[in-house]
Structure formats: C-alpha cells, structure tokens
Structure 1
Amino acid sequence: MTTSPESSGGATQSHKPACPTAEMGRWPASWEQEMQSTVNYLWHTDDLLGQGATASVYKARNKKSGELVAVKVFNTASYLRPREVQVREFEVLRKLNHQNIIKLFAVEEMGGSRQKVLVMEYCASGSLMSVLEGPENAFGLPEDEFLVVLRCVVAGMNHLRENGIVHRDIKPGNIMRLVGEEGQSIYKLTDFGAARELDDDEKFVSVYGTEEYLHPDMYERAVLRKPQQKAFGVAVDLWSIGVTLYHAATGSLPFVPFGGPRRNKEIMYRITTEKPAGAIAGTQRLENGPLEWSYTLPVTCQLSMGLQSQLVPILANILEVEQAKCWGFDQFFAETSDILQRVVVHVFSLPQAVVHHVYIHAHNTIAIFLEAVYKQTNVAPQHQEYLFEGHLCVLEPSLSAQHIAHTTASSPLTLFSMVSETPKGLAFRDPALDIPKFVPKVDLQADYNTAKGVLGAGYQALRLAQALLAGQELMLRGLHWFVFSNMAGVTEIQELKRAAELRSKLRTVSEAGLAEVLSRCSRNITETKMTLSNLSSELMKNRDQVHEDRSIQQIQCCLDKMYLIYKQFKKSRMRPGLGYNEEQIHKLDKVNFSHLAKRLLQVFQEERVQKYQASLVTHGKRMRVVHETRNHLRLVGCSVAACNTEAQGAQESLSKILDWLSHQLLQDRTKGAQASPPPTAPYPSPALKDLVLHMQELCKEMKVLASDLQDNNRVIEGLSRVPSAPDI
C-alpha cells in the first residue's frame, strides 16, 4: 500500500518568512543549499506542505510574477515504479478541468537531476483535515460549511466519473480548501498519485489508499497482509467518501477500536466487516470489549436533525462492505443532489422550544412542508399555526413552497400548536463529559493533546451557550406575538357591549337571558385581557434580562486566554525538550489553563444551563396559560354566535313590523282611514309616524350589530385578523 502526500495542492502558509534579501536577487549562503528550482519556479525546502512515500509538496513562487503555487517533487522511490505508473498522475490531471479539482499548471524538471515536478494550484487555507484538526471543529463542521464540503466533493467526484477516473485515496487530507473572493470556502480534490482510468464495470487489483479510509476488502490485503484475489471496482471511492463525510460531520472517524484505528487492526477489520445493515459507525470502548453500533450521528454533531435525516441513509448505503448491497455512483449522485437542491425553512416550535431545519424542494407544495414539519415536531398539520416576524402566516396547502417566507435561524417561522404539551427544549451532551485531564508530569505531546481536547470541549460549550440563549429569546418573542394576537381578538369581542345595549331597547321576552350571557362574556373578556396584559409585561421584562445576559462574553473571554496557551503548547511539542525556566512556565500554563476551563464550565452551567432549564419550566406554564386563554375565547365565540343568530332574528322581526307600520301609514295618508292596531305592538300608542321613524332607526342599528357580530365571530374562532405585533 502506498500512502499519498497529505496534500498535493498546498496546505498551510509557510512557517518560515521569505528572506528579505531575496528581492535583491541574493540569498544567504545557508539558504542557497536549501533552495530548489525548475526553469520557472523556485522554492525552499522548509516550505513543506505535505509528504508521502513517493513525493513531497512545497509552496513555491513563479520566478517572474511571484505567483504562489504548489510543486510536487517526486523522490527516488517514485522512479522505481513502472513508467506507466509514474506518468499516470500527469495524464489524469491533464484530462481534468473542474473548479473542484486542483488545477495542473505545468510539468517541469529540476536542474541536473531532471526529476519531474508538478506545478499546481496553491490553496493557502490548507486541507479539510487541517480544518477538522482545529479545536473549534472537534465535534464536526457547522451545518453550512458541511453542505459546502458535500457540494464540492460531489461535484468533483462527478467530474471524475464523467471522465472514467477512480481516485483511490479520498480522505480529508486530499481535499484542499480555498477561500473565494467573497469569503466562501471552495474545496478541491487533490493528490491523484493513486488515480487511474476505470469504467464503472472495470476492476483493478493494485492497492492504494490510507488505512482509516480504506475499503475493508482493500484493508484486508494491504493492512492485514492476508492473501486474497479480490478485484476492486469504483465503489471503493464511495466507501472512502462515506468515512470522509462522517469525519467532517462529527469530527471523528466512524470505526474506532479501543486505543485507536492503528492500534488493533484486526478489530478495525472486524468492525467494518461485521457492521449490521443500516449502522453508520462502530466503536469498541473497552479493551477486548464488545462492539457498539450507531445508526445515527452523535448528539454532539452540529448538523440539524432535518439534514441528518437526509444524510444518514446515504452514509448507511455507501458504508456497505458487500458490493451487491452498496450503492453505485449513479444513486449516490442522485441522492446527494436531492439534498443539495433543497432549501431549508427554519421553524421554531413553541411547544417544544426547539429550532428545526426543514429541508424541502422549492417546487414542493406547502402540504408537503406541513407533513415534513409534522415528522420533526409531531404537531399534526391541522394543529399547526404560524407567525413570521409578528404577522399571521397563513400557509395554503395547495400553494407552492416558494410562497413561504425566507427564514434564518434567528428569524424563523414560529410554530404554535393547538394541542398543549410540555416543552422539552434543546437536547445536548454536557461538554464537561468530554474534557480530558492533564497528566501530572511534563509531557509536551500529551499536554498539547489534552489542551486541544479541552479547548474543543470549550468551543462546544460556547456553541451550546449561544444556542440556549437564542432559544430563550425565541421563546419569549414567539409567545409575545401569540399573546398580542389573542389580545387583538379580545379587543374586538368587547364590541358585544353594544349588543347588550341594543337588545335592551327591544324589550323582548329573551332580554334577561341574553343580557346575562353578554354580562358573563364581558366579565370573561375583562379577566382574559388582564391575564394577557400581565403575561405580556412578564415577557417584556424577561426579554430585557436575556438581552443583558453576559455569559457568552465571559465564556469567549476564557476561550481566548485558553487559545493563547494552546498555541504555545502546539509550538512547544515540536521541540525535543524544555529548559528549567521554560518548564516552570509550562507547568504554570497548565494550571492556568485548567482554572480557565473550570471557570468556563462554571459559567456555562450556572449562567446558561440552569437559567435555560428554569426558562423551560416557566415557558411551559405560560404556554398552558395561552392555551387556556384561547379556549376561553372560543367559548365566548360560541356565545357570540348565539347572540348573532338571535340578533338576526330580531332584525327580521323589526323589518316585518316596519313594513306593516309603513303600510298602515300609507293607508292613513291616501284613504284617511283608521288602521286597526297590530296584534302585538312593541311600543304603545305614540303617533304612528314617530313610531315608524323610531323603528327605522332601530332597524339600521340592528343591521350594523349583525354585521359586527359576524366579524367578531370570525375573529374569535379563527383569529384570522391578527395585526403585526410591536417589537419589545
């Protein structure tokens, strides 16, 4: 097995500054011996970017323009390979031209040795491996960055397959990162030393790759040295992609024996070959202990459940050792493209107090979106109500999902359920459980590793603290909006007092019963309005407290100080040892680092976790109040509906009486005859003309009342006219 260079397109910036005399065309004598060049390019051997079994990669400059490039210089061992193998990488790179494949600029030769040199695109931001090795990514990449990696790797691999090329050494170290003009990440596949042309139905028998990312069949022969005559196909790249994507999503390898992948290779092979269908990871936690299987990504992963539900089936089907069960590239490209073509809708569920990422296609209907929300929140579509930025958001199921407002994590759709439940809040693992301890003695490598692990847990605590604080803010803001919408409904219900006044003028038999109903409704309205007003005041006060919270700044301050010590440990580990004074400083740094970590965790637990848990309890109580209030409003709505029906009946009776009186008045004018009195007149013996005018006025008032009652009924039952809630 050959181990390819960690990167062939460049990794980090040079650790050694350029010599100031270089611009004058002179180099110090000690440097001249370390300088190497081709006709057009020049580099120093200290500027090493990566090294493998057959080549080294350096940062170089164009002699004329000064342009930075990466040069891959082949060593003596590379020339012991068959010539066909030697020239394969040149030929492969010349055939490829894609933004997610490292570019080949030229093939040159070094001076008298005539060693071949590949001149390639330089990526100053290092490899995906260097990104994952940063403490801030100890638990995997953020969701947005992971999607960039997925998009770039899929696009690059698709270009390889279109050109009939199998890479055979996919891993984070062979995926370079370039920062675009707008600050966006661009990832590029590199190191094609093991690549060769291979159609989908062709096989090969030679073994290449890096063992943690190697297909089990290749691992068996290359690492365990077991004789077997298996031939391998293009699917070996899919296995390596699966391990790489898992690593990018979680910060860890999926298959880990006790002590690490390279400590017990037999167990490593067992984990990959005995993995049950659907499992995406396997771990041995104890020496000689049982194997434990995982079918989901760990809770420490930064990917949302919405994305995880799309990604996990892909990982399960490409991390499949049996070729007959493993997906081919066509299905892999189809399923990953399906993810990448989706848009995300951010939904904050008030019942759960959790932000959800709902991935849907823009051409889907809103009905599909509502079902997707149901799968993540367990709130049935018929029970879902939405507000966006304080406005009622009516989602018509038959419309396209394109009609849904553009959301972000800080500005999501707010979901309210008509069914009450106890909020569970954000699920997370306590970062304190992942903090290693320093060994008592001075061990530069061990101290560096421990500091890196502690710092990684610290960054995880910072992210969780930010998420918990944002969750509190969304709870308060969302509830305020729904309280305000209920108060708007209450205000309109107060119009019922007009009905009581008008009905009193009619002096009907039902006056006492109706007046009692309306009086009871008025009392309920007053009590409800007071409850909502008090709740609104509480929410405003709590939101001010959240805005004044300084726990995030305190955690960040601890992290900044810890990072400086970590950088010193990282630098010291490269040295063979420390002098007495330096060692004493190193010991003090370990003590200070531990104190800072303890303070960070204290702030996280006491200022964030405890306050968040208390806010969840309070949120649950307030949600119950809101549900009770809405139920009261619905009962009042039923009463309003009954009043509306009776008012309409009264209006019809008035109209009939008015018609009769008008007819009688007309007869008086034309015939001068005395009309017989109506059988049951509501008003005794005023002049007939005055009575008609009075009845006409009363009839008009009844028409207005009926209209108002219909409007109020609609407001109460559906709360369909909710004005924008003011910011608090």
Structure 2
Amino acid sequence: MPSTPSYLWELEDILGQGATAKVYKARNKKSGEEVAVKVFNNASYLRPFEVQMREFEMLGKLNHINIVKLFAVEETGSPKQKVLIMEYCASGSLLSVLEEPENGFGLSESEYLIVVQCVVAGMNHLRENGIVHRDIKPGNIMRLIGKYGRSIYKLTDFGAARQLQDDETFVSVYGTEEYLHPHIYERAVLKKPQQKVYGVTVDLWSIGVTFYHAACGSLPFMPYGGPRNNKEIMHKITAEKPPGTIAGVQQKENGPIEWICELPVTCRLSEGLKAQLEAILPNILEADQEKCWGFDQFFAETKNMLERMVIHVFSLPQARMHKIYIHHYNSVAIFTEIVAKQTGVAPERQTYFYEGHLYTIRPTLQVLHLSKTTEQYPFILIGCESEGPMGVTYKDPAFGFPRLLPSVDVSVDFSIAKNVVSAVYQTLRVTQLLLTCQEFLLRGSYWIIQNLKAECHRIVEKKSAVMSHYNCMCNTESRNTRLYNAAYKDFAIDKQDQGGCRKKLQLIRNTLSSCSHSLDKESMLQFSLLEVKKDQDHMRVDTSMDRMKHCLQKTQLIFQQFKKRRHLSRLSYNEEQIHKLDKINLVNLAKKVLTIFEEEIVQKYQAALSGHSSRMRTITEIQTHLGLMNGYLVACVKDLHSYEESVNNTVDKLAQRMQQTCLVQPNHSPASSYHVPAEQALTVRMHKLQDQMKSVSYELEKNNSIIERLNVS
C-alpha cells in the first residue's frame, strides 16, 4: 500500500489517469479524511524541471470554491517522488455525469446552469491570476455535492497550466484532442509543422466544446466514424467552421459536412436558454483568434445570462411551455415583448391567469414584483386564437433506439445498452412533456370557462340594469310628451326639441333589440366544463407513465450487469447465455416502452390537442359574443345618458319660455285679467313637471350607480 508520511492509498482505488500521472483516493493516517493524491509517472520526470514544478506553483496561487484545493505536497517511494494531496470530489467528474444513461442527451437545465456558473467562476479566478489552463474538458471538471444537495463543479488538473496574460502567446501544445483548438490540433494530432503561436483564447474554444457537450450529451464536431478514427476530417470541420455555426457533423463516409447553428431538439434545455447559448457559442468556437471573443467579453456575456431570473409561462394558444429569461430590473413591458417573440401573441393581446384568477400586470412594473412562478405553477397565457396549437416540439424517440447485435461483444454491447437506456430516459422525458402539456391545457381551459361563466352572469345583470334604465326613460318620455303638448297649447314652442328626444329613444330601442336574443351561453360552457373535468379524471387514473417507469427500472438493472461484464476478458458458457437473455429482455423492454408511447401517449396527446382546438374555438366564439353584447349595452347606456340630457334641456327651455312670458305681461288690467288663470295653470304644470323631473333624475342616478358597479361604462 503506497503512502506518504501523512496519507496512504490502495492501487485499486484509482480515480483517473492521464499521460503523466494517476489519481488515487487516499486517506489521512490519523483522521481518516478522504483526499485525492496525484502520483506522477516516469514520463512526467522526462519533462524539463520548470515544467514539472509548474503545477505545484499554479495550485499554490489558487484559492477558489470552483478550483480543486491543494492541501499539501508530500513525497512517496524510493527514490522520493513528490505527490499532490488534493481535495477529494466524491461525485466524480462532469464526464462521468455525462456518461450516465440519464444524461445521454445532455444535462437538465438546472444542472447545466450550475455547470456554466461554476466553470465561468473558476475560469475568472484563473484569469485574475494570469493563468491559462490549456486542458479544459469534462474530465477535468470535478463534481462535489454541497451541504444543501446542490452540485459544485471544480476545475482540476493544472499539469498543462502556465502563467499567461491576455496579450501573451505560447508555442507548446497540450490538451485532449476532441477539445483542442484547431490550430493546436493541427500541430499536436496531425503532426504538421507550423510556426503559429497561441493565445489565451484557446481555453475559450475548449470551454465552448465542453458547454456544447454538457448541453447535448455529444460532441459538436463529429466526422463519420468518430473524431479519433477520422482525424483529417475532424480538423477540417473545426478549422473550416463557418461563422455563426456551433457544430458540424458528417453523416456518411466521404459525405458532406452538415453545419448546425442551433442546439438540437433533443437537448433538454428550454428555448429561452438555448437562444442565449446560441448567441455565445459561435463567438468562442471561433478558429480565428482575431475574431474570437476575449475573456472580458465572455465573462460579461455569461454573467448577463446567469444573472437573469426565469418566469414560467404556458401559452394556451400554442399549447407550449416557455421559460422567459429576463433581468429582475426589467419592466413588464420588456417581459411581454419577449413573450410575444416566443409565442406570437402581441403584447396588447396578452392576458394571463395565475392560480385560477385573471392576473393583471402593469407595463411599468418591474418583473421582480410579479408573482413567483415555477414549472408546476406558471402563468397561463391566453390571447388571440392561433391557427392551431403548435404543441410540444420533440423528436420521435423511435429514431434514437439503437439495435443490439446478435453476436456477443461485452464492450460493444455495453455501449449499445447504454444508448438504449438513454433512449428510454428520453422517451420518458418526452412523455412527461406531453402529459404536462395536457394538464395545463385542461387547467387553463377550466379557468377560462369559469371566468366566462362569471362574465355571462355579469352581462345578464348588465342587461337587466340597462332594461330598467330604459323602462324608466320610457315612462319619462310619456310624461314629457304630455307636458310638452300641454305647454305647446299655451306657448309657441318649436316641436323639433321633442322630436329629437323621441329619435334618441328610438335609437336606444333599436340598439336593445340588437341584443335581445338570448345571452344564456352557460349551457355551452357547462358542457365544455364537464368535458374538461372528465379529461382531468382520465389523466389522474392513467397508468401509462407508471408502466414506462417500471420498464426503465428493469432496463437499468440489465445495464448494470452489462457494466460489470465489460471488464471481463471472456464470458463462460453460462455467463454468455445469461448475457444473451439480458440482451433479449433489454430489447423487449425498450419495445414495450415505445409501444406505450406510440399507441397510448401520442394518441391521447393528439386527441387532447384536437379537443383543445375545438374547445378554444367555442370559447373564442363565446368571448366574441359577450364582447358584442357588452358593446351594445355600453352604447345603450351612453344613449340613455344622452337622452336624459335632452329631456333636461327640453324642460329647461319650457321653464325659460314660461318665465319670459310671465315677465313680459304688464300689471294686470281688466283687458289682461282673462289670461291670468291660464298662466297660473301653466305655472302649476311647470312646477309639477319640475317635481316629476326631480323624481326621474333620482331614478336615473340610482340606475346609473347600478350600471357603474357592473362596469358597463
């Protein structure tokens, strides 16, 4: 058992190895604390002494949570060899995380953001100390689980690191070929002589490849047969990558290269995060070091991305979930513009529900003050009816299922089995997306229908209030006509005033007749509501997902057996027979998962989309109808107010005419005494009219207050 004065380890406890060293899990002799010990091989001592000492010097300068800590430098063996005693990361590396079948199509969005945040923070610390790493890759990014269960990623392996400022260059070559900058690849892998010098941005290229790998579960640059089997094409892809592209794939031998500008649909990241990554990756995956971003811009852009908050929005017209990445200090107006870009619903047409209620948002409000959303409790966006719901965008999992070969090859079988289990995981994720979509379609529809039922009730009350107001005006019209006719007998009055009032009342009568047909849409809404509840009940008792998860558990167990056997040089007869049975069972389980997905999940999802489309047409029709009814009633109220003003004006004119007539009469003489009784009678009638108008005005005010409470205005 190798040891140093303070630590010891077993050769079987190897954590990793490279060209110049191996890393073992070791223990402190006194405390039992677990550490990682890096032991250098003979090849490492063939390097110049200053190169050998470089890693010790680099680690001695660094102290950051996202850099693996150096605890001590001790000696082991005879002759004495220096070893590094470092922080032990029990959860392996980012590469080991990506090699798990669950992450065959990339990391989850939450885990991916942690990776980006940790790598950026660690690299920022390196640049602050003027250090270039020169071997950034998933295998050199270790993972530790923090005390709150959150991953912490740490940069390690500084054997190739050296001091280098932004304006300095170097000529030596280091790194792992899949992650190498194309200029270094040409010299280090293809062995082509060149006089090029390299700057610190070579680390940015490696970071770009690492970020893509973590997002997609695969490398961005893939020649036919793999990067290590077709090195010339690998260099051609990386060196000739067009601006704006982030990946290049050769599907056939000697075939053309397919250039890719977007992250694949199989990627587990949301469209909101993808859009931001697709703005960063092309600028760090740039072979021309003059065009490549510098670290300052890289840090600024990634900080801009990482500092954004997420608002979850489910678009009912699209039948899709969205994650809106936005700064907390941005206004709601900016939020609605981003939503419009992703959903196609213009800001002025956007209406939101939150937890069953209409959610009013003010454009000037900061998004920080909006209610907190999650994937389970998002805003539900409603807006203008689209041509049809787009639904979830996904790639048919059937195309991702590889076939197991009949021959027995434990290494090949392990690789294929891993891909099969990855495809099963992906099928379950797509299934969950489809089920979640259905759930929110029903939830949003339920809320809209309930809101429309309440709106129907309000409209009926509005109509009742307007009819009451109208009947009051009809009574006023009758009394006004009698008084006006009586006044007309005694005074020369223009009858056009009375005719104008009658025309206004006739206009109101015509408007009310336009909405005289039934406002009762509750029966239609109640039927839709029953359908929604029925569908919700069916979803609660559906067992499709549970059956698929059961199949996944069995495939995982079989995969673990394949993982054990891959290290065996050969299988015994009985082991080989069991291995063959495991292959058959793995294939059958994968087929069962696909069958459930295609014959149950997809069919129910398509039916849900069709039902949602039909239901939304009905809802839109009712919304339009209620909008028209409300418009008619608002017009009636305005006309009634106008009529009321006309009646008041007419009464005022009558009163003024009466006063003018009385004023022009001289002191009563025998000749004029004949007219006095008539004038007195008219005065009495005018006082009665004024009293009646006060009564009418009180009734009008009462009806107006009812209508105002019902939001008719």
TM-score in same-fold range (> 0.5): yes
Deviations 1:660-698 (A, max 9, x none): 99999xxxxxx99984358999xxxxxx87x88776554
Match of 1:80 among 46, 49, 65: 46
How far off is 1:590 after superposition? Answer: 0.9
How far off is 1:176 after superposition? Answer: 0.4
Do residues 555 (structure 1) and 548 (structure 2) align? yes
1:566–1:245: structure 2 CA closer, same or farther, 3 Å change rule? Answer: same
Match of 2:471 among 494, 504, 509: 504
Do residues 676 (structure 1) and 681 (structure 2) align? yes
Do residues 130 (structure 1) and 124 (structure 2) align? no
After TM superposition, the structure 1 = structure 2 runs for residues 274-285 of structure 1, keeping only pairs within 5 Å, are 274-285=240-251
Question: What SS does structure 1 have at the residue aligned with 2:253?
Answer: coil
Query: Is this contact kept in 2: 1:280–1:316, CA < 8 A?
Result: yes
Residue type of the partner of 2:364?
A: S
* 1-structure distance, mates of 2:30, 2:614: 72
Do residues 400 (structure 1) and 393 (structure 2) align? no
* 2-structure distance, mates of 1:354, 1:132: 28
Residue type of the partner of 2:282?
A: A
Match of 1:640 in 2: 633
Residue type of the partner of 1:130?
A: S
* 2-structure distance, mates of 1:320, 1:142: 26
Match of 1:264 in 2: 230
* 1-structure distance, mates of 2:374, 2:556: 30
Question: What SS does structure 2 have at the residue aligned with 1:168?
Answer: coil
* 2-structure distance, mates of 1:540, 1:660: 63
1:397–1:44: structure 2 CA closer, same or farther, 3 Å change rule? Answer: same
Query: Is this contact kept in 2: 1:504–1:511, CA < 8 A?
Result: no
Question: What SS does structure 2 have at the residue aligned with 1:525?
Answer: coil
* 2-structure distance, mates of 1:522, 1:549: 46
1:543–1:692: structure 2 CA closer, same or farther, 3 Å change rule? Answer: farther
Match of 2:313 among 336, 347, 357: 347
How far off is 1:659 after superposition? Answer: 8.5
Question: What SS does structure 2 have at the residue aligned with 1:200?
Answer: coil
Match of 2:375 among 409, 427, 433: 409
Residue type of the partner of 2:701?
A: K
Deviations 1:146-173 (A, max 9, x none): 0000000000000000000000000000
* 1-structure distance, mates of 2:441, 2:97: 34
1:378–1:680: structure 2 CA closer, same or farther, 3 Å change rule? Answer: farther
Question: What SS does structure 1 have at the residue aligned with 2:8?
Answer: strand
After TM superposition, the structure 1 = structure 2 runs for residues 289-308 of structure 1, keeping only pairs within 5 Å, are 289-308=255-274
Query: Is this contact kept in 2: 1:500–1:514, CA < 8 A?
Result: no
Query: Is this contact kept in 1: 2:633–2:712, CA < 8 A?
Result: no
* 2-structure distance, mates of 1:676, 1:190: 109
Residue type of the partner of 1:639?
A: Y
Match of 1:16 in 2: none
How far off is 1:592 after superposition? Answer: 0.9
* 1-structure distance, mates of 2:344, 2:470: 47
Match of 2:579 in 1: 586
Match of 1:572 among 560, 565, 574: 565
After TM superposition, the structure 1 = structure 2 runs for residues 147-158 of structure 1, keeping only pairs within 5 Å, are 147-158=113-124
Question: What SS does structure 2 have at the residue aligned with 1:37?
Answer: coil
Question: What SS does structure 2 have at the residue aligned with 1:260?
Answer: coil
How far off is 1:439 after superposition? Answer: 0.6
1:423–1:441: structure 2 CA closer, same or farther, 3 Å change rule? Answer: same
Match of 1:313 among 279, 285, 308: 279
Match of 1:161 among 105, 127, 130: 127
How far off is 1:537 after superposition? Answer: 2.0
Deviations 1:429-464 (A, max 9, x none): 011101110111111111111111110010001111
How far off is 1:651 after superposition? Answer: 3.9
Match of 2:519 in 1: 525
Do residues 116 (structure 1) and 78 (structure 2) align? no
* 1-structure distance, mates of 2:655, 2:454: 42
Q: TM-score w.r.t. structure 1 length?
A: 0.88
* 2-structure distance, mates of 1:378, 1:287: 41
* 2-structure distance, mates of 1:714, 1:384: 22
Query: Is this contact kept in 2: 1:651–1:703, CA < 8 A?
Result: no
Match of 1:541 in 2: 534
* 2-structure distance, mates of 1:662, 1:563: 96
Residue type of the partner of 2:365?
A: L
1:655–1:537: structure 2 CA closer, same or farther, 3 Å change rule? Answer: farther
Match of 1:226 in 2: 192
Match of 2:20 in 1: 54
Residue type of the partner of 2:573?
A: Y
Match of 1:194 among 157, 160, 163: 160
Query: Is this contact kept in 1: 2:505–2:643, CA < 8 A?
Result: no
Larger Rg: 2
* 2-structure distance, mates of 1:277, 1:123: 38
* 2-structure distance, mates of 1:412, 1:631: 26
Query: Is this contact kept in 2: 1:647–1:706, CA < 8 A?
Result: no
Query: Is this contact kept in 2: 1:637–1:713, CA < 8 A?
Result: no
Match of 1:102 among 57, 60, 68: 68
Instruction: Report the more deviating stretch, 630-639 or 427-436.
Output: 630-639
Deviations 1:87-135 (A, max 9, x none): 1101100100000000000000014331111000000000000000000
* 1-structure distance, mates of 2:527, 2:511: 26
How far off is 1:587 after superposition? Answer: 1.0
Query: Is this contact kept in 1: 2:135–2:203, CA < 8 A?
Result: yes
Query: Is this contact kept in 2: 1:455–1:559, CA < 8 A?
Result: yes
Question: What SS does structure 1 have at the residue aligned with 2:11?
Answer: strand
Question: What SS does structure 1 have at the residue aligned with 2:321?
Answer: strand
* 1-structure distance, mates of 2:646, 2:279: 69
How far off is 1:529 after superposition? Answer: 2.4
* 2-structure distance, mates of 1:516, 1:537: 37
How far off is 1:637 after superposition? Answer: 1.7
Residue type of the partner of 1:153?
A: V
Do residues 64 (structure 1) and 57 (structure 2) align? no
* 2-structure distance, mates of 1:672, 1:466: 92
Structure 1: state its 5+ residue gaps.
1-34, 665-670, 682-687, 716-728
Do residues 708 (structure 1) and 706 (structure 2) align? yes
Residue type of the partner of 1:581?
A: N
Query: Is this contact kept in 2: 1:344–1:359, CA < 8 A?
Result: yes
Query: Is this contact kept in 2: 1:353–1:471, CA < 8 A?
Result: yes
* 1-structure distance, mates of 2:631, 2:415: 68
Structure 2: state its 5+ residue gaps.
478-501, 659-675
Do residues 174 (structure 1) and 125 (structure 2) align? no
Deviations 1:296-316 (A, max 9, x none): 001100111111111112110
* 2-structure distance, mates of 1:604, 1:200: 53
Match of 1:381 in 2: 347
Coordinate RMSD, CA, aligned: 2.3
Query: Is this contact kept in 2: 1:641–1:709, CA < 8 A?
Result: no
1:549–1:700: structure 2 CA closer, same or farther, 3 Å change rule? Answer: farther
Query: Is this contact kept in 2: 1:641–1:713, CA < 8 A?
Result: no
Query: Is this contact kept in 2: 1:494–1:522, CA < 8 A?
Result: no
* 2-structure distance, mates of 1:111, 1:176: 27
Residue type of the partner of 1:326?
A: C
1:680–1:613: structure 2 CA closer, same or farther, 3 Å change rule? Answer: farther
Instruction: Report the more deviating stretch, 306-315 or 151-160.
Output: 306-315
Question: What SS does structure 1 have at the residue aligned with 2:519?
Answer: helix
Match of 1:621 among 614, 618, 622: 614
Residue type of the partner of 1:568?
A: Q
Match of 2:662 in 1: none
Residue type of the partner of 2:519?
A: I
